[in-house]
Amino acid sequence: LMLAAWAIAELTPYEYLSLAEASGAHPPRWLVLVCCAILFAVAYSMPSFLFPTLGIFALVLLGVSSLRSPLHRVLNDSASGFFGLAYVAFPLVLAPMITTQENGTAQLLFLLIVVWAGDITALYIGRTLGRHPMAPILSPKKTWEGAVGSMIGSIVAGLALVACGNHLYRRGIELLLYTQPWWYWVGMAILLNIAAQIGDLLESAIKRGAGIKDSGSILPGHGGVLDRIDALLLALPVL
């Protein structure tokens, strides 16, 4: 899981850096990707050093940018490079770390199901019933009707997963054990759905600021990897 998250985390900052460059910044691409790899290595071997490592990376990026960038771009280049680590790499580092907690695998699966169900429901509800734009400047196609549908879809899918986990537990399978009461998971689904929808809007803001429609083209018909995981990037830290 750590390797899979790292692979995604190397592709996603690469797309993010293209957006940063389109916005006028030129962070040291190679250094950001190396820092991303080191961050995952630290999370795997010495997780307690994760935050100090991020702090060191901020200073390293500032130092390298000071040496390679024009003076008027030093702050923009170093800040945009560090933001790529904080915005993309750090949340993805949390995914495998969550599974090390008690019932962590079940919680991570809950997150994925809730976010994906919300995305799917928002798409269809928004297309059929959407009338009132949610954030027309950031994402003209998103509507309040779709947002409400997304919330309902997340809650229903989350409760269905909890019910499934409890059913399996009664059969002696503890892989999806959810010990908290049902209302706890309703609240968790609401929090994760709100975070996911905000995460989607934040990526839209970055793309529109850069004048780019999709973060990449690696997934035909879907855009880039960042387009597919933007909701998870905010939901993972919330979980």
Q: How far apart are CA 23 and CA 80, in angstroms?
A: 10
If one counts every other C-beta atom within 10 angstroms of the C-beta of residue 44, the result is 14
pLDDT of residue 25: 87
From 185, 171, 194, select the one nearest 106 (Cα to Cα). 185
pLDDT of residue 223: 62
Strand locations in the chain (E): 133-135, 139-143
Q: How far apart are CA 230 and CA 199, in angstroms?
A: 6
Q: How far apart are CA 67 and CA 78, in angstroms?
A: 11
From 41, 46, 192, select the one nearest 107 (Cα to Cα). 192
pLDDT of residue 49: 93
Distances (CA, A) of 170 to 166, 176, 191: 6, 11, 28
pLDDT < 70 stretches in the chain: 213-223
Angle between helices 29-45 and 50-68 (to 10 degrees): 170
Token duo for residue 229: 């995981």
Q: Which tens digits make up the pLDDT trace of 89-133?
A: 899 999 888 988 888 889 999 999 999 999 999 989 988 887 888
pLDDT of residue 5: 83
Q: How far apart are CA 119 and CA 110, in angstroms?
A: 14
pLDDT of residue 192: 97
pLDDT of residue 222: 55
Classified as helix, coil or strand, 136 is: coil
If one counts every other C-beta atom within 10 angstroms of the C-beta of residue 171, the result is 8
